[in-house]
Structure 1
Amino acid sequence: MTAQPVTAAVPELDLDPFSDEFLTDPWSAHELMREAGPVFRLQRYGVYGVARFDEVARVLADHETYVSSRGVGLSDFATEKPWRPPSLLLEADPPHHTKARHVVTGILTPNLLRSLKEGFQERADELVARVAARGGVIDGVTDLAEAFPLQVFPDFVGLPEDGRENLLPYGSMVFNTFGPRNRHFERALERGAKAQEWIMEQCQPGVPVPGGLGEKIHTAAAEAGYGPDEQARLLRSFLSAGVDTTVHGIGNALQCLAANPEQFAALSGDPSLARSAFEETVRFSSPVQTFFRTTSRETELSGVALPEGSKVLMFLAAANRDPRRWEKPNEFDIRRKAAGHVGFGFGVHACLGQMLARLEGECFLTALARHVASIEPAGEPVQQLNNTLRGLDSLPLRLTAA
C-alpha cells in the first residue's frame, strides 16, 4: 500500500501587495509572509505566494512546472488576452525562449562587456565629478541615477539622442502591467502610450544606429529565422527592462550610502568594493520586487498542493532578506557576500541584462568613491510606486566633492 503525501494547510492572508501602503513600506509585510509559512494564499487575488528564499529559488529553477508563457504578471495568458504581444524572452518558455535567448547571449558576451568598461567609467567619472562640483542640494535621481544610464545604455543600443526620455515611462508601464488594473496600471498605460510608439519605431529593422546592439540583434535574429516583426519584439524586450531597473538600482544605492555613512566611508577608502556595493544594493532594496509564474500541471511545493493553472507570486525582495538565508538581512553591508540573491532571478529566465546593469552600477559607484568626499540626505525622498519595481522619484542629497 502506497503512503499518501501529506498536504499542508495553506495560510490565507488578507494582504494587498499592490496597495500604496504595501508598495511604500513592504518590509514588515514581507516578514509576516515569511513567517506565515513556505506557501500561502493571498485572498484578495486568489493567488499563491512564496516569500522565503528556498521556495522562491525552487520556483525560479523549475521552469517546466512554473511557466512564464502564461504571463509573468497577474494576468493568465491562457485565459486572458495580453495587453501587447508577449515578449519573446520574458513571456516565453523553451524551446521558443531558448532560441530567442541564444540570439541575445551570442551578442552580450563577457568580452563585449569588458570592452565597454573603460568608456562607461569615463562617462561616470565625468558626470559624478561635474555634479559634485556644483555643491548645494542635488536630486540623486534626476541628476545621477537617471542621467548615467540614459547616456550609456541608449548609446550602446544605438538609439538617437532625441526621444530617450521615453525609455523610462515605457519601462514603468511594462512593469506596472504585471499587477492588477489599479491606478498605477492605468496611469502607466496613459503615460506610456506615446513612449510605446517611440519604442516600437526604434525597434524596427534598419532604424538603430549601425554598430550598436540594436543592429546586432536584428542581424542575429534574422539569421536565426525571425521575421521583421519578431526582430522588433526581441529588441523591445531588451529595451523594456534595460533602463528602469538600473536607474532604481543606482538610486537605491545612493539612498543606502547616504543613510549609512560608515558604508560610504568603506567604499571611499576602497573603490574596488563598488561591484560588491551594487550587489548588496540589489539584495537589500531589490529594484524588482516580485514576479509571477503559472503552474503548468498539478504539483507540490513544500508540502502544499498546487492545482494546474495556479498563479504563484514570488516575493523576490522578501527572499533577499530571509534570515534563513542571510545573516542580519536587514543591515546594508557592502562587504557582504551577496552573490546568490534572487534580485536578477536565475535559471533560464535570469535577467539577460544583469551583466550590463552590474557594469553600469560598478562604474557609477567607482566614480562616486573617487569624486565625492561625503554624501548626506538633504530632504525626504519620494518613493515611486510601481506594481513590480521599487525605486525613487526624487532623492535630495548634499554631496561634497573630493
Structure 2
Amino acid sequence: MQTEAHYQGAPILDVDPFSTEFLTDPYPFHEQLREAGPVVWIPKYKVWAMARYEEVRHVLDDWETFCSSAGGGLSNFNQEKPWRPPSIILEADPPMHNRTRGVLAPLLNRAALNKLREGFDEKAKLLVDSALARQEVDGVKDIAEVFPLQVFPDAVGLQKEGRENLLPYANMAFNAFGPRNELFEEAFKEAEKVTDWIMNQCRREALSEDGFGAQIYAAADAGEISEQEAGMLVRSLLTAGLDTTMYGITSALYSFASFPEQWSLIRENPALLRPAFEEVVRFQSPVQTFFRTTTCKTQVAGVPIDADQKVLLFLGAANRDPRRWEAPDTFDVRRRAVGHVGFGHGIHVCVGQMVARLEAESVLTELVKRVERIELNGEPVRRLNNTLRGLSSLPLKLYAAD
C-alpha cells in the first residue's frame, strides 16, 4: 500500500476495497485508511474514501452536498443506467425521500412494531426449542436466516411460496453496490428469475390484506404516493429488511461465542441486552460501506473535491476509529455504543433499523433465558459480499441453562 503520493492534497492508496483479501480481513486495511488521512484517493476506482468517524458522519449528515440519488454504490446514476429502477427511499433525496420515508416511518416505528412483538417472541421460543433439542446447530442456517425469513415476510404480507428467492435477491442488491467483480457476476447468475419473482410479489394483489405491503398501498389510495411507487417501496422493504438483520443476528451469535464472558454478563444482567446489540453492530458492522456522490465542488478536511465525484464511506472503519471509541477493537457489552454508524446516519439512516432491533431482541432474549453458554463448534465460513460482512456458516454448540 502506497501513501507517499498525493492527489489534490489527499494520500493515494493503492488498495482494492472489494478484493477477496480486503473483504476477508478488512481491519488492517481500515487502520491504514484511517491513519493515511481524513480523506484518501483510491485510483483503482477513481473514488474518494473516508474511514475516520468524524468525516464519515459529516458526509452522512450533509445530504445536500453528498447525495444518494446518484446511487448508493460505485455506479454513478448521473453517468450510467442502474441495473434496476433506483430505490425511492435509499437512492432518493428530498423532496421525494421525505415523501416516501413519510409513508414507511409510521409502519416501522417502535410503537407500531411493538404490536408484532408477541408474535415474534412466540416464534423465537419455537426456534430456540428446536435449537436446544439438537444442541449442535449452524448459527446462520438454523437461527439467523430462519427467523427473519419467517417473521419479516409475514409482517410484509408476502405469500409463503417462493421465499427462497429473497436471499439471492438481497445478495444481488448488496453486491451491486460494488464493482462488477466475481462476486457481482456470481450473484447475478439467476437474476432474471429472482427479479421477476420479487417484482410479482410487490404487486397489490399478491400481498395479504393485513401486512406492511397493504398499508403502503393504502397510502397510494390516499394519494400520498403513486401505485407504482407503492410497489417500489414494498421492494425496498424486501431488499433491506432481511440480509442486514440476518447478518446482525449472525454477528451477535459469533460475538457471544467468541467472547463467552460477555454472554455471561448479559445473563447476569439482561438489561444489557439492548445496548449489547448496539455494540455488536458497532463491533462487527454488518453493513461495511456505502457511497455518496458530490452535488457541487466542496472540501472535506481541507481536501477539495469536485462535483459529481463518488465518495466511499467505510462505516465499519468509522465504528472502530480510536479517535471516537476507547479500545475500539474490544467487544464490550457495557460500552455505550450510541452514535455508531452501523445503521447509517442523517436523513438516510436505516428506516428498518427498529425491525432489525426487534427481531434480534426477540431471538437473543429467548437465548439469554435458556442458554448458559454458546460455543464455537467448528470453523466459521466467511460469506463475501461487496457491501455486507457476515458468515455463510457458523457451527455452534448450545448449552442449556439449568
- TM-score by shorter chain over 0.5: yes
For the 8 Å contact 1:89–1:97, the answer to whether it is kept is: yes
How do 1:227-306 and structure 2 match up within 5 A?
Answer: 227-306=226-305
The count of corresponding residues between Structure 1 and Structure 2 is 395
More deviation, 185-194/71-80 = 185-194
Match of 1:350 in 2: 349
Instruction: Report the RMSD for the aligned CA atoms in angstroms.
Output: 1.3
For the 8 Å contact 1:296–1:309, the answer to whether it is kept is: yes
Separation (CA, whole Å) in 2 of partners of 1:401 and 1:163: 34
Match of 2:51 in 1: 51
Dislocated runs of 4+, deviation >6 Å: none
For the 8 Å contact 1:176–1:386, the answer to whether it is kept is: yes
Aligned with 2:108: secondary structure? coil
Match of 2:157 in 1: 158
Separation (CA, whole Å) in 1 of partners of 2:305 and 2:207: 45
More deviation, 259-268/313-322 = 259-268
Separation (CA, whole Å) in 1 of partners of 2:94 and 2:318: 26
Question: Gaps (5+ residues) in structure 2?
Answer: 1-6
Residues 268-322 of structure 1, C-alpha deviation per residue, up to 9 Å, x if partnerless?
2222322112111110011100000000000000111000011000000000000
More deviation, 77-86/274-283 = 274-283
Question: Gaps (5+ residues) in structure 1?
Answer: 1-6
Match of 2:3 in 1: none
Match of 1:400 in 2: 399
Residues 100-133 of structure 1, C-alpha deviation per residue, up to 9 Å, x if partnerless?
1111113223321122222211211221132112
For the 8 Å contact 1:286–1:320, the answer to whether it is kept is: yes
Task: Please report how far the alpha carbon of residue 197 of structure 1 lies from its aligned counterpart in structure 2 after TM superposition.
Answer: 1.5
Task: Please report how far the alpha carbon of residue 77 of structure 1 lies from its aligned counterpart in structure 2 after TM superposition.
Answer: 0.4
Match of 2:67 in 1: 67
Task: Please report how far the alpha carbon of residue 27 of structure 1 lies from its aligned counterpart in structure 2 after TM superposition.
Answer: 0.3
Identity %: 55
How do 1:1-400 and structure 2 match up within 5 A?
Answer: 9-135=9-135, 137-400=136-399
Aligned with 1:277: secondary structure? helix
For the 8 Å contact 2:65–2:296, the answer to whether it is kept is: yes
For the 8 Å contact 2:15–2:42, the answer to whether it is kept is: yes
For the 8 Å contact 2:60–2:344, the answer to whether it is kept is: yes
For the 8 Å contact 1:291–1:388, the answer to whether it is kept is: yes
Task: Please report how far the alpha carbon of residue 75 of structure 1 lies from its aligned counterpart in structure 2 after TM superposition.
Answer: 0.6
More deviation, 22-31/220-229 = 220-229
For the 8 Å contact 2:159–2:206, the answer to whether it is kept is: no
Aligned with 1:13: secondary structure? coil
For the 8 Å contact 1:295–1:310, the answer to whether it is kept is: yes
Task: Please report how far the alpha carbon of residue 8 of structure 1 lies from its aligned counterpart in structure 2 after TM superposition.
Answer: 7.2
Aligned with 1:190: secondary structure? coil
For the 8 Å contact 2:245–2:360, the answer to whether it is kept is: yes
Residues 41-82 of structure 1, C-alpha deviation per residue, up to 9 Å, x if partnerless?
111111000000000000000000000111111010001011
Separation (CA, whole Å) in 1 of partners of 2:191 and 2:381: 21
Separation (CA, whole Å) in 2 of partners of 1:148 and 1:265: 24
Aligned with 1:142: secondary structure? helix
Aligned with 1:397: secondary structure? strand
For the 8 Å contact 2:100–2:225, the answer to whether it is kept is: no
Aligned with 2:104: secondary structure? helix
Aligned with 1:106: secondary structure? helix
Separation (CA, whole Å) in 2 of partners of 1:38 and 1:194: 43
Aligned with 2:204: secondary structure? coil
Separation (CA, whole Å) in 2 of partners of 1:283 and 1:292: 19
Task: Please report how far the alpha carbon of residue 192 of structure 1 lies from its aligned counterpart in structure 2 after TM superposition.
Answer: 4.0
Separation (CA, whole Å) in 1 of partners of 2:229 and 2:262: 45
Normalising by structure 1, we get a TM-score of: 0.96
Task: Please report how far the alpha carbon of residue 225 of structure 1 lies from its aligned counterpart in structure 2 after TM superposition.
Answer: 4.7
**Relative to structure 1, is the Cα distance of residues 119 and 36 closer, same or farther in structure 2, using a 3 angstrom cutoff?**
same
For the 8 Å contact 1:221–1:231, the answer to whether it is kept is: yes
Match of 2:4 in 1: none
Match of 1:4 in 2: none
For the 8 Å contact 2:106–2:112, the answer to whether it is kept is: no
Aligned with 1:93: secondary structure? coil
Task: Please report how far the alpha carbon of residue 199 of structure 1 lies from its aligned counterpart in structure 2 after TM superposition.
Answer: 1.1
Q: Return the letter of the residue paired with 1:323.
A: P
Match of 1:3 in 2: none
For the 8 Å contact 1:66–1:293, the answer to whether it is kept is: yes
Residues 345-388 of structure 1, C-alpha deviation per residue, up to 9 Å, x if partnerless?
11110100001101111111111111212111111111110000
Separation (CA, whole Å) in 2 of partners of 1:24 and 1:349: 27
Residues 115-173 of structure 1, C-alpha deviation per residue, up to 9 Å, x if partnerless?
222221121122113211212x3111000010111111011111111111211111111
Task: Please report how far the alpha carbon of residue 232 of structure 1 lies from its aligned counterpart in structure 2 after TM superposition.
Answer: 0.8
Normalising by structure 2, we get a TM-score of: 0.96
Task: Please report how far the alpha carbon of residue 251 of structure 1 lies from its aligned counterpart in structure 2 after TM superposition.
Answer: 0.5
For the 8 Å contact 1:103–1:221, the answer to whether it is kept is: no
